[in-house]
Homo-oligomer: A and B are copies of this chain.
Amino acid sequence: MGKILLENIISEGEKRDVYIDGNVISRIVPAGTALPNAEGAEKVDCSGKVLLPGMVNAHTHAAMTLLRGVGEDICFADWIDKIWLEEEKIDGEFIYWATKVACLEMIKTGTTSFYDQYWMLPQAEKAVSEMGLRAVLSYVHLDHYDEAKSAVQKQECTDMYRMSAGWPDRISFSVAIHSVYSVSEELIVWAAAFAREHGLKINVHLCETEKEVLDCKARHGMSPVRYLDSLGVLGPDVVAAHTLWLDGDDIGILADRKVSCVHNINSNLKLASGYRFLYREMKDAGINLCLGTDGCASSNNLDMLEAMKTAALVQKAWRNDPAAMPLDELFSMATANGAAALGMNAGRVSEGCLADLIIVDTGSSFFLSNAPFMANFVYSAHSDCIDSVICDGKFLMRNRTVPGEHEILSQAGRLLDRIR
């Protein structure tokens, strides 16, 4: 593994040298401090630039990059029907290139890790592996109450899990239960048990729309949160996406079970699913809150910085409280909390942490202000301020250039032309 020395970089407001040994942040010292261990490291002058942890997109469907724009301006119920039809047409080549595009877009916008829920994991894993990001890829259980499908999915999940033994350390296998409205009770229980047996994370869409909650109450006599809890699914290994339509009891259960919850504001707004994310109540209950973009068919991009700004602004407005979502908490949602949810020792610029880092160029007008850096970063700048990205101790982007990006866009473009 390589050694990198980031020199004269600003971290927490101080000018520092940061020594990366292999895939770990080894030392963080005042700039100019002698670091005998760093001899032979590649020295990178980062004067005037700011070091941050790479962002963790805690809920997405990466390969939906090539379904971007499928189903514009329609509501969730119509949208998901359309998506499920589109998804019947996709193949391994689609997944591979669409995931490559997703990784490229994430790198360009400062994301180093993501929690994915999508199809054809071998092709997805190949793409992520080549692109260098850290990821948890989940096998999706989604049987539409069809026993034959359920049986196939159990077998596939088992096979995929075995296959994942050959994946690199930075890519993990996980189990997804699509939602309470699309998966049979029997498969939900099986998938959760399989995850627990093998120590895997569990990903679920939960309380995304009001309809989901009303339908669940009509069908099972309880909210989706209570229903999953009654099946023994909820626990600290569960990462629940959306969690938008909750009552106080739901929040209490999610907190008691130590479920991590992922806010996906742009997707919720765009599909008119809702906007009243109960940030303060969930935070005060002690829930680990994360941030995600959801897939490009609903969000319509994978830009976590944009997601941060929208999350903050919308929370301020609907709570009628301009301090409703403090910037330090918001940035933790986009980094450390996501890493914690995914079981990664990342999301912080600290000695001993994984070297998943982004380097921000503050040379544009957006940073020309006496405000704290984080205010300029979230409220004013765009993701093109992200100059370089390091993941697992390796540069994935330098000076906004990702090796092979033109080839990826060109191959993916050809695929889109074919399926148009």
A residues in contact (CB < 8 Å) with B = 65-66, 68-70, 72-75, 79, 101, 104-105, 108, 266, 268-275, 296, 300-301, 303, 306, 310, 313-314, 316-324, 326-327, 363-366, 368-372, 375-376, 379-384, 409, 412-413, 416, 419-420
Contacts of A266 in B (CB 8 A): 313
Complexed CA–CA distance, A296 and B367 (Å): 11
Contact A101 B316 (CB under 8 A): no
Residues of B within 8 A of A363 (CB): 409
Q: Is the CB of A368 within 8 A of B65?
A: yes
What residues on B are CB-neighbors of A420 within 8 Å?
Answer: 370
Contacts of A268 in B (CB 8 A): 317
Could you list 8 A-B pairs, sorted by A, with CB under 8 Å? A68-B371, A69-B379, A270-B322, A272-B319, A272-B320, A272-B321, A314-B314, A382-B383
Q: Is the CB of A368 within 8 A of B313?
A: no
Given A371-B70, A380-B68: A365 touches B108 (CB 8 Å cut-off): yes
Closest B residue to A370 using CB positions: B420
Residue of B313, B366, B380 touching A269 (CB-CB under 8 A): B313
Bound form: Cα–Cα A212–B313 in Å: 21
Q: Are B368 and A323 in contact (CB under 8 A)?
A: no
Q: A318 — which chain B residues lie within 8 A by C-beta?
A: 275
Q: Which of A365, A366, A372 has the most CB of B within 10 A?
A: A365
CB distance B313 to A376 under 8 Å? no
A323 with B270, Cβ < 8 A, contacts A314-B314, A365-B104 known: no
- B270:A66 contact, CB within 8 angstroms: no
Known: A300-B375, A300-B380. 11 other contacts (CB 8 A): A66-B368, A66-B369, A68-B369, A68-B380, A271-B316, A272-B320, A275-B314, A275-B318, A296-B380, A300-B376, A363-B409
Q: Which residues of the partner chain B approach A324 to less than 8 Å between Cβ atoms?
A: 272
Taking the closest CB of chain B, its distance from the CB of A207, in whole angstroms, is: 16
CB-based contact B310/A313 at 8 Å: yes
Note all chain B residues with C-beta closer than 8 A to A323: 73-74
CB distance from A233 to the nearest CB of B (A): 29
Whether B413 and A73, one on each chain, are in contact in the complex, defined by CB atoms closer than 8 angstroms, is no
A363's nearest neighbour on chain B, judged by CB, is B409
| A406 nearest CB neighbor, chain B only | B363
User: Roughly how many angstroms separate A138 CA and B319 CA in the complex, as a whole number?
Assistant: 34
The complex places the Cα of A104 from the Cα of B372 at a distance, in Å, of 22
Closest to A76 in B: B322
- Which residues of chain B are within 8 angstroms of A72 by Cβ–Cβ distance? 327, 371-372, 375, 379
Q: Which residues of the other chain, B, contact A365 by a CB distance below 8 angstroms?
A: 65, 101, 104-105, 108, 409, 412
Q: Determine if A69 and B270 form an interchain contact, defined as CB atoms under 8 angstroms apart.
A: no
Minimum CB–CB distance from A339 to chain B (whole Å) comes to 24
Q: Indicate which residue in B273, B301, B316 contacts A272 across the interface (CB closer than 8 Å).
A: B316
Q: In the bound complex, how far is the Cα of B376 from the Cα of A65, in angstroms?
A: 12
Complex alpha-carbon distance, A318 and B327, angstroms: 24
Chain B proximity of A185: nearest CB distance (Å): 30
Given that A301-B366, A317-B268 are contacting pairs, would A372 and B322 also be in contact in the complex, using a CB cutoff of 8 Å?
no
Cross-chain contact of A271 among B301, B322, B326, B371 (Cβ < 8 A): B322
With beta carbons under 8 angstroms apart, the residue of B270, B317, B375 that contacts A379 is B270
Task: Give bound CA distance, A383 to B75, whole Å.
Answer: 27
Distance of A377 from chain B, by nearest CB (Å): 11
Docked Cα-Cα span, A360 to B385, in Å, equals: 19
A303 to B385, CA, bound (A): 15
Complex-state Cα separation, A171 to B195, whole angstroms: 66
Whether B69 contacts A375 by the Cβ 8 Å rule is yes
Which residues on the B side are within 8 Å of A273 (C-beta)? 317
With a 10 A CB-CB cut-off, give which of A79, A101, A316, A381 has the most chain B CB atoms: A316
User: Is the CB–CB distance between A272 and B383 below 8 Å?
Assistant: no
- Does B316 contact A371, Cβ atoms closer than 8 Å? no
CB distance from A93 to the nearest CB of B (A): 15
6 closest A-B pairs by CB: A69-B371, A269-B313, A68-B369, A300-B379, A269-B317, A275-B317
